[in-house]
């Protein structure tokens, strides 16, 4: 006999109750899903076929230039600019976010002004501006030290400055949003335990804010990779610039653009994988449900449904 | 510099207002070392605010609060009173443990990590030693099975007991409990109160804001009854709870009988 048989609450059974047990149920055949899948696969297959056989894509040319040294150099510049721009952007963004949240009017105002300016003007304009800084300030001096602006602002520094400062303005708002999403009680608890503000931020607030900071940051990083293509206007040889320099010679425009497109897609795909790993790490306290009361209450009733 | 008979907590004429809303209207309170004081009173009587003033989570507008011979948030030297810097206030808080109504465990850390965070990071204790003591405390509050669990995986009562262990881990001279059982399901209140009763019996100095009259009766050395921002009655639990002299105390207690 089963364990439940001697429970007072057991009521009489009908013969058909066994047949009505929902565990025996069959799933309805999903005609609509099958049809949609079929149509989609046919369309996708057709499109892939057209792309594959269209001689204008010149796939052999794509293959030939995919690992071309010029392309590789451009790829390095794109990745380098992305990493440096993003790193400075995040670090400066964190400082700006904290300043924007502080009670200090001066810090608050400076941060607000920075964000207002660098978010409010197009990145392309900012890049051209940095590149032409020497027409505005021919010499830059700090104290008695003084430099020719053209020595300081090379295409590389102009590109890094433009990308990083613009990014910092966006990251500041993302980080601020993340910090605000953390329960106020957490900061108060850290305070009550005698933590300094810096330590409370580092150990308690930021790790919890990361959960809402990481997804939009991943977005920013992907935007940044593509935004680096703008630096080709100030003669920085990034990925796009390098394929352009090849097709300006060979006129194989489409296949070389395909080289760039495939590389951009490859990088962003790798970044997506990295992003999910980071999200899993910062979500580690979320495992298990709030009501997972283990053996706290040895309650007879709650154990019954598992024993049949 | 603490005189032998000087109270551990000494509050004089404490006033606090939020905007035009005056919450504390002149609170005087002494708490002797080893004493367990339970503060009772209706909602809005200012008892939680007063508790939060003791470790400077709220600043006070008038009066003074001293803990262990040091004025909280200020320093008196040659008749001149200076406000302390954030860093010095943080240092003063290190001898006061606090338990919150909403537990406020760090959700991204396991129970053990929650407990050792302040001892290692703030008090500069050796990690191995901190872990050893944290295990001891978690065993003491009955959670040796849950050492590596994240707060989300614990029931409310278990979370609050971790929070108590976390506060004890800094070896506090004073423990503050801000309505520690108010956010708990009724069947989980008992386990937390039992833990607190043990602490009271072990001679820890505690100030407890609560609605649990039963706990006040069993564990308190002294009951303080607050209403409308004033202390209106104070004394041993048998006296205040069985034979209150103030009509407001009587009407408040009447609701629990």
The pLDDT of residue A43 is 97
What pLDDT band is residue A288 in, cutting at 50, 70 and 90?
Answer: low
Contacts of A116 (CB under 8 A, 6+ apart): none
Distance CA A247, CA A256 (A): 7
* A53 inside domain: no
Structural domain containing residue A159: 79-236
* A186 inside domain: yes
ipTM confidence: 0.89
Would you call A196 and B86 a contact, using CB atoms and an 8 Å cutoff? yes
The pLDDT of residue A152 is 79
Report yes or no: B97 and B171 within 8 Å, Cβ to Cβ: no
Distance CA A241, CA A232 (A): 5
Tell me the pLDDT of chain A averaged across its residues.
87
* A38 inside domain: no
Residue A160 in tokens: 């890094």
What pLDDT band is residue A6 in, cutting at 50, 70 and 90?
Answer: low
The pLDDT > 70 percentage for chain A reads: 90
| Rounded alpha-carbon distances, angstroms, from residue B20 to A177, A185, B55, B178 | 31, 24, 23, 24
Distance in Å, alpha carbon of B202 to nearest chain A alpha carbon = 22
H-run or E-run covering B168: helix B156-168
Handedness of CA A217, A221, A226, A229 (dihedral sign): positive
Tell me which chain A residues have a C-beta less than 8 angstroms from the C-beta of B99: none
A123: CATH: 1.10.3720.10
How many Cα atoms occupy the beta-carbon half-sphere of A123 within 13 Å? 23
H-run or E-run covering B226: strand B222-227
Residue B114 in tokens: 């929650």
Residues across chain B: 257
Please count the structural domains in chain A: 1
Q: Is the pLDDT of residue A151 over 90?
A: no
When CB atoms are compared, the residue of B94, B153, B158 closest to A288 is B153
Instruction: Assess A293–B contact: CB distance below 8 Å, yes or no.
Output: yes
Instruction: Assess A60–B contact: CB distance below 8 Å, yes or no.
Output: no
When CB atoms are compared, the residue of B93, B145, B158 closest to A192 is B93
Q: Is the pLDDT of residue A299 over 50?
A: no
Distance in Å, alpha carbon of B243 to nearest chain A alpha carbon = 36
Check residue B84 and report its DSSP letter: P
Instruction: Assess A12–B contact: CB distance below 8 Å, yes or no.
Output: no
Please list the pLDDT of chain B residue by residue as tens digits (257 residues). Answer: 445 578 999 999 999 999 999 999 999 999 999 999 999 999 889 999 999 999 999 999 999 999 999 999 999 999 999 999 999 999 999 999 999 999 999 999 999 999 999 999 999 999 999 999 999 999 999 999 999 999 999 999 999 999 999 999 999 999 999 999 999 988 889 989 999 999 999 989 999 999 999 999 999 999 999 999 999 999 999 988 888 888 888 888 887 65
* A183 inside domain: yes
Model confidence pLDDT, tens digit, residues A238-274 = 999 999 999 999 999 999 999 999 999 999 999 999 8
* A190 inside domain: yes
Distance in Å, alpha carbon of B222 to nearest chain A alpha carbon = 25
* A59 inside domain: no
Residue A239 in tokens: 């990925």
Model confidence pLDDT, tens digit, residues B153-203 = 999 999 999 999 999 999 999 999 999 999 998 888 998 999 999 999 998
Would you call B121 and A203 a contact, using CB atoms and an 8 Å cutoff? yes
The pLDDT of residue A246 is 93
3-state secondary structure of B66: strand
Distance in Å, alpha carbon of B17 to nearest chain A alpha carbon = 19
Phi, psi of B65 (to 5 degrees): -130, 130
The residues in A 188-227 lying below 8 A from B, measured between CB atoms, are 188-189, 191-197, 199, 203-204, 207-208
When CB atoms are compared, the residue of B96, B100, B149 closest to A185 is B100
Beta bridge partners of A146: A141
Residues across chain A: 308
* A12 inside domain: no
The pLDDT of residue A161 is 92
């Amino acid at each position: 006999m089963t364990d439940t048989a001697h429970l007072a609450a057991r009521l009489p059974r009908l013969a058909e109750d066994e047949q009505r047990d929902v565990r025996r149920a069959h799933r309805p055949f999903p005609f609509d899903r099958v049809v949609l899948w079929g149509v989609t696969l046919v369309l996708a297959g057709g499109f892939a076929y057209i792309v594959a056989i269209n001689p204008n894509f010149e796939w052999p040319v794509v293959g030939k230039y995919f690992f071309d040294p010029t392309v590789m150099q451009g790829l390095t510049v794109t990745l380098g600019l992305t990493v440096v721009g993003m790193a400075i952007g995040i670090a400066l963004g964190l400082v700006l976010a904290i300043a924007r949240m502080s009670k200090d009017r001066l810090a608050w105002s400076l941060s607000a002004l920075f964000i207002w300016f660098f978010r409010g003007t197009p990145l392309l304009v900012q890049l051209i501006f940095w590149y032409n800084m020497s027409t505005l300030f021919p010499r830059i001096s700090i104290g008695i030290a003084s430099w020719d602006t053209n020595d300081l602002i090379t295409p590389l520094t102009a590109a890094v400055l433009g990308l990083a400062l613009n990014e910092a303005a966006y990251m500041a708002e993302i980080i601020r949003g993340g910090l605000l999403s953390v329960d106020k009680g957490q900061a108060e608890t850290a305070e009550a335990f005698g933590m300094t503000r810096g330590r409370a931020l580092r150990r308690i607030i930021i790790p919890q804010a990361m959960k809402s900071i990481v997804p939009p940051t991943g977005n920013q990083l992907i935007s940044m990779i593509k935004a680096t293509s703008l630096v080709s206007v100030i003669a920085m040889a990034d990925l796009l610039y390098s394929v352009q320099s090849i097709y300006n010679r060979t006129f194989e425009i489409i296949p070389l653009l395909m080289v760039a497109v495939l590389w951009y897609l490859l990088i962003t795909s790798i970044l997506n994988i990295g992003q999910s790993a980071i999200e899993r790490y910062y979500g580690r306290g979320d495992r298990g449900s709030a009501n997972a009361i283990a053996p706290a209450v040895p309650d007879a009733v709650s154990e019954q449904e598992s024993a049949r | 510099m603490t005189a032998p008979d000087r109270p551990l907590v000494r509050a004089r004429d404490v006033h606090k207002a939020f905007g035009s809303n005056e919450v504390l209207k002149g609170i005087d309170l002494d708490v002797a070392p080893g004493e367990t004081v339970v503060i009772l009173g209706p909602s809005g009587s200012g008892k939680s605010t007063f508790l939060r003033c003791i470790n400077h989570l709220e600043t006070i507008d008038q009066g003074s609060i001293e803990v262990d011979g040091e004025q909280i948030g200020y320093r008196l030297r040659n008749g001149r009173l200076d406000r302390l810097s954030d860093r010095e206030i943080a240092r003063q808080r290190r001898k006061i443990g606090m338990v919150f109504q909403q537990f406020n465990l760090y959700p991204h850390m396991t129970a053990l990590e929650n407990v050792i965070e302040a001892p290692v990071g703030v008090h500069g204790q050796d990690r191995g030693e901190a872990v050893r003591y944290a295990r001891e405390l978690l065993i003491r509050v009955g959670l040796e099975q849950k050492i590596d669990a994240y707060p989300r995986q614990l029931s409310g009562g278990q979370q609050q007991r971790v929070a108590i262990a976390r506060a004890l881990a800094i070896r506090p001279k004073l423990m503050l409990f801000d309505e520690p059982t108010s956010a708990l399901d009724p069947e989980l209140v008992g386990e937390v109160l039992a833990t607190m009763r043990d602490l009271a019996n072990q001679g820890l100095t505690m100030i407890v804001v609560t609605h649990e009259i039963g706990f006040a009766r069993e564990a308190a050395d002294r009951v303080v009854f607050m209403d409308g921002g004033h202390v209106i009655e104070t004394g041993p639990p048998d006296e205040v709870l069985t034979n209150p002299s103030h009509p407001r105390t009587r009407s408040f207690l009447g609701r629990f009988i």
